[in-house]
Structure 1
Amino acid sequence: MKLLLLTLATLLLLSQLSPGGTKKCWNLHGKCRQKCFGKERVYVYCTNNKMCCVKPKYQPRENPWKF
């Protein structure tokens, strides 16, 4: 029983410490990263000083009515 409790405690601790996912940004369509991939662009910076990388289909379009 002690071994089972120790194993569960270890797994819980490891799940909290592992760098699993990235933070979401730009209305949950972007991800905070050190470097953007492919055609992703940076529009804002995240609170952790990383770039908010946004995929092309979620990138804002320029205003076609502005001259």
Structure 2
Amino acid sequence: MKLLLLTLAVLLLLSQLMPGGTQKCWNLHGRCRQKCSKRERAYVYCTNNKLCCVKPKFQPREKLWPF
């Protein structure tokens, strides 16, 4: 019984110490990942050398320069 309580206490402690999600980027609209999903595009790199995956609606639009 003591072993069970000790195991539960350790698991609870580890769940509090480990981050629950991925790091946010691009003004909190993107997430740092190894690979972006189908509905996201990589726009910049994160500080941990992962891709900053951002949905297209949050990316800046390209300006067309007049010729």
Is TM (by shorter chain) over 0.5? yes
Give the corresponding residue for 2:22.
22
User: Normalising to structure 1: TM-score of the pair?
Assistant: 0.73
Instruction: Percent identity, please.
Output: 71
3-state SS of paired residue (1:42): strand
Q: Which runs of 5+ in 2 are unaligned?
A: none
3-state SS of paired residue (1:35): coil
d(CA) in 1 for partners of 2:62, 2:48: 27
d(CA) in 2 for partners of 1:31, 1:44: 11
User: Normalising to structure 2: TM-score of the pair?
Assistant: 0.73
- Aligned-residue CA RMSD (Å): 2.3
Give the corresponding residue for 1:57.
57
3-state SS of paired residue (1:52): strand
d(CA) in 2 for partners of 1:22, 1:34: 11
> Where has structure 1 moved over 2 Å in runs of 4 or more?
5-10
Q: Which runs of 5+ in 1 are unaligned?
A: none
